[in-house]
């Protein structure tokens, strides 16, 4: 079983995606050496940062060595209703997954591996710097307090949602916090930090060490893993509303906001710039209908965020206000189509 949630929470999206891809290849090599049949179990979550997204694209992005004809994965949370509640949508979902599995298996049997991916590491060193940038943010003194005050994590912890407590030991540390409330909190604040933070730092490391954008564009065009990873980061960036995230950050003490939000803002702006340069698109998302969906959604979700910010800023809430605060969490989750 490959675990996506904690991999991302501890390493960031770019480093986690690469490590999972690389270790899946290693598992395939070990299984082949020992003559053992390999079936990978992908412990995916509902959000992009926890391995979510279109299953057929994820299957085609797997290393060809792992396409043995068998695969196991989880679907959870709102993704179940979104993909399988409507019989016609469910049928189409299953068709796409079967198509992807057959194509992946055929590609593996034919040895059809993109030229830029044959080495497994095509001059590709960004994950180390990406991981370092991500962990540096989380480990900076005061970050936990910033997270606690700039997101509605304290409200989420008290909701009667989820099968497990938000923290493993009840302490307020990033390491101890479970992945779902971690992603849920950043999604509520519209920062969606787990889906993109440190990606720009990692790609800039590649460029600083002699890499070039033409190679990255070639990798995006030819290598399904890289294309899917970039598209997932792009979608998280497109779903981010930094102006609203700034209003949440203003709830934090001034010195913490000054310490952390400019770093988040700079990483976001550079990531948008790099994604556009690599994909050759002005729009972040590849599918026009998805970008249109985001534009239509925001006018309805934004007021809920502003109401939530106002309620979070109050030191004492009446019973009615506490109920309203909980309802904003549920409303924003419904609008974003994601809890984490």
Answer yes or no: is 145 within a domain: yes
Number of compact structural domains in the chain = 2
Given this model, what pLDDT does residue 169 score? 54
Same domain assignment for residues 319 and 186: yes
Same domain assignment for residues 156 and 304: yes
Last residue of a domain, one of 116, 149, 181: 116
Same domain assignment for residues 159 and 196: yes
Same domain assignment for residues 46 and 146: no
Distances (CA, A) of 39 to 35, 42, 56, 120: 13, 10, 17, 20
Average pLDDT, the chain: 85
89 contact partners, CB below 8 Å, separation of at least 6? 82, 83
Same domain assignment for residues 200 and 223: yes
Q: What's the CA gap between 143 and 259, in Å, rounded?
A: 9
Answer yes or no: is 123 within a domain: no
Same domain assignment for residues 239 and 325: yes
Given this model, what pLDDT does residue 325 score? 93
Answer yes or no: is 124 within a domain: no
How far does CA 22 lie from the centroid of its chain?
A: 18
Q: What's the CA gap between 246 and 338, in Å, rounded?
A: 20
Structure tokens at 263: 């770093």
Same domain assignment for residues 157 and 212: yes
Same domain assignment for residues 92 and 156: no
Domain that holds residue 14: 2-116
Last residue of a domain, one of 116, 141, 175: 116
Contact 328, 304 (CB under 8 A): yes
88 contact partners, CB below 8 Å, separation of at least 6? none
Answer yes or no: is 210 within a domain: yes
pTM of the model as a whole: 0.87
Given this model, what pLDDT does residue 121 score? 46
Residue 71: closest CA among 28, 109, 42: 42
Same domain assignment for residues 178 and 110: no
Same domain assignment for residues 52 and 90: yes
Same domain assignment for residues 137 and 63: no
Given this model, what pLDDT does residue 230 score? 94
Contact 181, 156 (CB under 8 A): yes
Task: Pick out the chain residues at pLDDT < 70.
Answer: 45-52, 112-125, 160-172, 339-340
Contacts 24+ apart (CB under 8 A), 79-82: 79/46, 79/52, 82/337
């Amino acid at each position: 079983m490959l675990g996506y949630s904690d991999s991302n929470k501890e390493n960031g999206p770019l480093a986690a995606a690469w490590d999972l891809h690389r270790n899946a290849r290693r598992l395939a090599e070990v299984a082949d050496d020992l003559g053992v049949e390999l079936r990978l179990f992908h412990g995916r979550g509902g959000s992009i940062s926890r391995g979510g997204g279109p299953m057929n694209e994820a299957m085609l992005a797997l290393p060809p060595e792992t396409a043995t004809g068998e695969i196991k994965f989880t679907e959870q949370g709102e993704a179940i209703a979104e993909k399988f509640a409507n019989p016609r949508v469910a049928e189409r979902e299953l068709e796409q997954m079967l198509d992807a599995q057959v194509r992946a298996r055929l590609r593996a049997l034919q040895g059809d591996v993109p030229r830029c991916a044959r080495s497994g590491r095509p001059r590709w060193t960004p994950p180390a710097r990406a991981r370092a940038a991500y962990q540096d943010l989380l480990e900076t003194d005061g970050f936990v307090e910033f997270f606690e005050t700039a997101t509605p994590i304290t409200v989420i912890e008290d909701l009667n949602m989820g099968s497990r407590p938000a923290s493993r030991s009840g302490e307020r540390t990033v390491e101890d916090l479970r992945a779902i409330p971690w992603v849920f909190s950043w999604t509520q604040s519209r920062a969606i930090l787990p889906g993109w933070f440190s990606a720009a730092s990692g790609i800039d490391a590649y460029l600083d060490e002699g890499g070039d954008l033409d190679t990255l564009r070639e990798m995006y065009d030819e290598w399904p893993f890289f294309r899917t990873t970039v598209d997932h980061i792009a979608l998280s960036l497109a779903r981010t509303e930094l102006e609203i995230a700034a209003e949440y950050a203003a709830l934090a003490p001034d010195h913490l906001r000054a310490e952390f939000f400019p770093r988040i803002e700079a990483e976001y702006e550079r990531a948008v710039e790099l994604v556009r340069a690599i994909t050759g698109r002005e729009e972040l998302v590849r599918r026009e209908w998805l970008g249109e969906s985001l534009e239509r959604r925001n006018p309805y979700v934004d007021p809920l965020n502003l109401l939530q910010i106002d309620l979070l800023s109050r030191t004492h809430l009446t019973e009615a206000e506490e109920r309203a605060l909980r309802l904003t969490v549920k409303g924003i989750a419904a609008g974003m189509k994601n809890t984490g």
